[in-house]
Amino acid sequence: EAQVTQNPRYLITVTGKKLTVTCSQNMNHEYMSWYRQDPGLGLRQIYYSMNVEVTDKGDVPEGYKVSRKEKRNFPLILESPSPNQTSLYFCASSPPEGSEQFFGPGTRLTVL
C-alpha cells in the first residue's frame, strides 16, 4: 500500500530534550516536506527536500533540522524543543512539480 508513515504519532516531552520524528514514504517520491499546524491555522512549511542531500528552508524553519540521506526517509529533528513547538506535525511527499502531496497521519507533539 502506497503510504507515508510517521513515528511517533503522539509524543509528550520536556523542554530541551532532543527528539526526532521519523518520516518514510514507499512511493519513490523525489519531494518531501514537513509542516506544522496550529489551531485555526493552515499548514506552515518547515523544511522541504527536492532530492537526496538537497534540503531548503520553508516558512518556519527556526528550531528545526532535517536530513535527506535516503530518498524514502526525511526525519525532523528538534535539538532543543521549546513549548512554542507544541503542535501537530505532518510529513508529506510528492513526485516533482505540479503533483499532489501525500500526507502522513500526523504527529501530535507536546513540549512541557
Partner 1 sequence: GQNIDQPTEMTATEGAIVQINCTYQTSGFNGLFWYQQHAGEAPTFLSYNVLDGLEEKGRFSSFLSRSKGYSYLLLKELQMKDSASYLCAVRGWNTNAGKSTFGDGTTLTVKP
Q: Which is nearer to partner 1, 18 or 108 (CB)?
A: 108
Among 5, 13, 101, 110, binds partner 1 (CB under 8 A): 101
Is 106 a residue that touches partner 1 (CB under 8 A)?
A: yes
Helix (H) or strand (E) holding 112: none
**Helix (H/G/I), strand (E/B), else coil: 6:** strand
Q: Which is nearer to partner 1, 17 or 109 (CB)?
A: 109
Could you say whether residue 60 binds partner 1 (CB under 8 A)? no
The residues that touch partner 1, with contacts defined as CB under 8 A, are: 31, 33, 35, 40-45, 48-50, 56, 58-59, 90, 96-106
